Amino acid sequence: MALMSYPDINAIHYKGFGGFTTLEECEEKRILTENGIAEMEMQRGHVVYIETYCMEMFAFPTQFDAPRRNPPENPAEFGA
C-alpha cells in the first residue's frame, strides 16, 4: 500500500498494489513502486511525501492463475 501526502491537501491519498506471494517479493516491489510514484509526481511538478507498506491479507486467486476461457459469443453475457 502506498500512502501519499501533498502540501495544501488535507487528505492522505492511498493506492493499493497486490499480487505478491512472498514478503520478499513485496519488499522489492514496494521500493520500485515508491520510486515510480515519486518520478511520476515530479514530472507533473507536484511535491509529495510517500510511504509504502507491505501488508498481509487474504485475497482471491489472481486472474493470472485462473485458467483462460473463451469470451461469450452473446454480448448480453457481458452484462450489456
Structure pTM? Answer: 0.63
From CA 57, how far away is CA 80, in angstroms rounded?
33
Show pLDDT as tens, one digit a residue, over the chain (80 residues): 889 999 988 889 888 887 777 889 889 889 998 999 999 999 999 999 999 999 887 776 666 666 666 666 665 655 54
Name the residue among 41, 50, 40, 36 with its Cα closest to residue 2.
50
Q: Helix (H, G, I), strand (E, B), or coil: what is residue 66?
A: coil
Dihedral sign, Cα of residue 50, residue 56, residue 57, residue 58 = positive
Residue 73: the pLDDT is 67
